[in-house]
């Protein structure tokens, strides 16, 4: 019995057990005998053969581990997409959420960001390029200041963006938002001084010490991010404004290339 099983099959079986990976159905069909089918001596021999193979071919464990991670990532992403569809009203219809692009667009790009997140800033030109190429797209900014414990300015910048949008609408918000993004792209540090300068440029009047009214909105976004299993920024949900489902909704975490974001927009255009 043991001799009929190749060293590679034994090693793959052991690797799947060690890493927790699921053995493919084809392989499982060829190895239906469980450990209880072997004698103690046979089990010891199997262990020695498999261990020898793994020592000489460590890439087997690496491959099994990578496969497990890919499967787990796919599972988590499916859960995020499902939750995004359930939360589409909160994602798309919160009147306090600032936006850029086509106000009546058919496709929504919802970006969770922290104004002091380097990758949020680095990805800004990519999002701008997507909006330029897709006149039917709308960018919604969900303020998710996860760096606030490290820097109070993350929280301040988020609250100010909400206040600017309230006072000056999308045009004033665009001036403020793009201004902060450009500061980061230019390598300049965010300060209260340049926040105030951008507020003035937007046409709004904001007292940085009087922004407590936005706490509920930030808490609401924090809860939404937690429900979507977002642990960092940037993070995106791309979906059609109408007819969103699990087939035309995409959830992306971290920095993404333009082609990836464009593919998500194209998928969202396949409404219903």
Question: What pLDDT digit, counting tens, does each position of 110-166 carry?
Answer: 999 999 999 999 999 999 999 999 999 999 999 999 999 999 999 999 999 999 999
Residue-level pLDDT at 55: 78
Place of tokens 């760096």: 147
Question: Please, which residues have CB within 8 angstroms of residue 205's CB and are 6 or more apart in sequence?
Answer: 167, 199
Whole-number Å distance between alpha carbons of 161 and 267: 30
Residue-level pLDDT at 100: 97
Instruction: Find, among 153, 152, 159, the residue nearest to 96 by Cα.
Output: 159
Question: Please, which residues have CB within 8 angstroms of residue 85's CB and are 6 or more apart in sequence?
Answer: 239, 244, 245, 246, 249
Residue-level pLDDT at 10: 55
- The 8-class DSSP code of residue 246 comes to T
Positions in the chain whose pLDDT score sits under 50: 1-5, 21-32, 272
Q: Which domains does the chain carry? A: 7-57 (no CATH), 85-268 (3.40.30.10)
CA dihedral angle for residue 161, residue 166, residue 167, residue 169, rounded to 10 degrees: 90
Instruction: Find, among 128, 119, 111, 134, the residue nearest to 238 by Cα.
Output: 111
Task: Yes or no: say if 113 and 143 are a contact pair by the CB < 8 Å rule.
Answer: yes
Residue-level pLDDT at 52: 78
Residue-level pLDDT at 9: 57
Residue-level pLDDT at 24: 44
Residue-level pLDDT at 29: 47
Give 138's strand partners: 101, 108
């Amino acid at each position: 019995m043991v001799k009929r099983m190749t060293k590679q099959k034994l090693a793959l079986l052991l690797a799947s057990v060690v890493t927790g990976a699921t053995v493919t159905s084809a392989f499982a069909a060829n190895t239906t005998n469980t450990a209880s089918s072997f004698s103690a001596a046979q089990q010891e021999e199997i262990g020695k053969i498999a261990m020898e193979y793994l020592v000489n071919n460590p890439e087997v464990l690496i491959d099994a581990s990578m496969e497990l991670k890919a499967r787990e990532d796919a599972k988590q992403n499916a859960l995020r997409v499902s939750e995004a569809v359930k939360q589409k009203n909160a994602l798309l219809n919160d009147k306090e959420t600032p936006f850029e692009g086509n106000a009546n667009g058919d496709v929504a790009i919802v970006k969770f960001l922290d104004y002091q997140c380097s990758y949020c800033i680095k990805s800004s030109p990519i999002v701008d390029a997507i909006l330029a190429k897709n006149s039917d797209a709308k960018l919604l900014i969900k303020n998710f200041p996860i760096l606030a414990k490290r820097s109070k300015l993350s929280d301040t910048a988020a609250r100010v963006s909400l206040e600017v949008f309230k006072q000056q609408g999308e045009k004033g918000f665009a001036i403020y938002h793009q201004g902060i993004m450009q500061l980061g792209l230019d390598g300049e540090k965010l300060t209260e001084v340049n926040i105030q300068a951008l507020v003035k440029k937007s046409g709004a009047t904001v007292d940085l010490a009087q922004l407590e009214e936005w706490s509920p909105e930030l808490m609401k976004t924090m809860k939404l991010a937690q429900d979507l299993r977002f642990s960092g920024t940037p993070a995106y949900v791309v979906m059609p404004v109408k007819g969103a489902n699990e087939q035309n909704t995409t959830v992306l975490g971290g920095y993404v290339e333009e082609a990836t974001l464009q593919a998500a927009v194209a998928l969202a255009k396949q409404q219903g």
